[in-house]
């Protein structure tokens, strides 16, 4: 295995390329292992095994375990934002209905990977000041991006522009709550279909103007 053989097998990569590749592997592996093992059992050796990278290399690129996790969550939310935006564009173009968008959000994000990863990092953040401080800006960017997406989503005359984001955020809260429940209420898809069905009826009533949202006194 001399220099000639090595050069023939693999072109010389710049430091930047090497860095991007290693970081990318670590971030992807972190999300996979976090989903599979949970935060409680998330060991750096396990991540590195999955990434095919040493712990020394991991620590070269990320100050500590927590820094790696925060970077991974950031990447997760950036990706999710792009995917949601893409589907939202289809709602606006009237290729899919708002009801179908709700189904998309449920089946593609909130009853699986995105939400379970959210559950893990949110729960860890609740009792750890450092994690929480690191994640609040990350999540705030996600919320702002969603609000921007929601603002451009609907043009229903019956729904004031200022209410659009509220309704969509309420939709997301419903789906998060359902996501929480899936953990200890599995094998009951009818229950979740039922909830979602009722929600769609409510959403349709709002979009059609049968329920008005202007006056939201604090009551």
Contacts with a copy of itself by CB under 8 A lie at: 36-41, 99, 116, 118-120, 122-128, 132, 135-136, 139-140, 143, 163, 166-167, 169-170, 172-181, 183-186, 191, 193-195, 197-202, 205-206, 210-213, 215-219
Per-residue x/- track, 13-42, DNA (CB under 7 A): xxxx-xx-xx------------------xx
CA atoms within a 13 Å half-sphere pointing along the CA-CB vector of 150: 21
Structure tokens at 86: 């893409």
Instruction: Give the nearest distance from C-beta 115 to DNA in angstroms.
Output: 23
Rule CB under 7 A: say whether 43 interacts with DNA: yes
Helices H, strands E: what count in the chain? 10, 0
Question: With contact defined as beta carbons under 8 Å apart, do 34 and 27 qualify?
Answer: no
Q: Which of 32, 35, 38, 46 binds DNA (CB under 7 A)?
A: 46
| 3 state SS of 168 | helix
How many Å from the N-terminal Cα to the C-terminal Cα in the chain? 77
Instruction: Give the nearest distance from C-beta 44 to a copy of itself in angstroms.
Output: 15
Structure tokens at 107: 């089946």
Any idea which residue has 């200890």 for tokens? 184
Instruction: Give the nearest distance from C-beta 61 to a copy of itself in angstroms.
Output: 24
Among a copy of itself, DNA, none, partner that 39 touches (CB below 5 to 8 angstroms by kind): a copy of itself
Question: With contact defined as beta carbons under 8 Å apart, do 159 and 207 qualify?
Answer: yes
> Which parts of this chain interact with DNA (CB under 7 A)?
6, 12-16, 18-19, 21-22, 41-46, 53-57, 59-61, 64-66
């Amino acid at each position: 295995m001399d220099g000639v053989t090595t050069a023939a097998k693999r072109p010389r990569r710049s430091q930047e390329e090497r860095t991007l590749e290693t970081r990318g592997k670590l971030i992807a592996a972190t999300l996979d292992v976090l989903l599979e093992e949970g935060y409680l059992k998330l060991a750096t050796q396990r991540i590195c095994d999955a990434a095919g990278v040493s712990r020394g290399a991991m620590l070269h690129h990320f100050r500590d375990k927590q820094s790696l996790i925060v970077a991974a969550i950031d990447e997760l939310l950036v990706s999710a934002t792009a995917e949601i935006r893409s589907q939202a564009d289809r709602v606006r173009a009237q290729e899919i209905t708002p009801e179908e968008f709700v189904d998309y959000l449920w089946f593609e994000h909130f009853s699986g990977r995105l939400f379970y990863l959210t559950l893990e990092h949110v729960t860890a953040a609740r009792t750890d000041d450092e994690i929480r401080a690191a994640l609040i800006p990350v999540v705030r960017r996600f919320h702002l991006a969603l609000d921007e997406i929601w603002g451009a989503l609907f043009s229903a005359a019956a729904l004031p522009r200022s209410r659009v984001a509220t309704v969509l955020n309420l939709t997301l809260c419903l789906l998060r709550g359902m996501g929480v429940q899936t953990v200890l209420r599995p094998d009951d898809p009818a229950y979740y279909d039922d909830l979602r069905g009722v929600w769609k009826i409510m959403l349709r009533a709002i979009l059609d103007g049968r329920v008005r949202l202007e006056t939201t006194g604090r009551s």
